[in-house]
Amino acid sequence: MIQELLLIALVIAVVYFMFIKKKPNIKNNTSSSKKDELQSNDMVECSGCGIYCEVGDTIISNNKYYCSKECLKRS
C-alpha cells in the first residue's frame, strides 16, 4: 500500500517537473534587455541644449541625441 502511494507521488512529481513547471528564461549577456531598448516615443536629452524630446524626432550623431540640426552644428 505504501509502495503504491510512493509510486503515484513519484509519477506525479515527474509529470509536474517535466511538463508543468516553467523553466526560467536565460538570456545572453550580449543581448540587451527590454529596459535598455528605446521605443520611438521614449524621451531622451539633447546633447546640445539639454531639452528632452522623443527618440523618433531626434538626430543621432556619434551616439548622441540632438533635437535639431542647429544643436548638432553647435556641438
List pLDDT tens digits, range 34-72.
Answer: 446 778 788 999 999 999 999 989 999 999 999 999 999
The Cα 36–Cα 44 span in angstroms is 13
Mean pLDDT of 11-33: 72
pTM: 0.51
Q: What is the pLDDT of residue 32?
A: 47
The pLDDT of residue 21 is above 80: no
Element (H, E) at 52: strand 52-54
- Is the Cβ–Cβ distance between 36 and 45 less than 8 Å? no
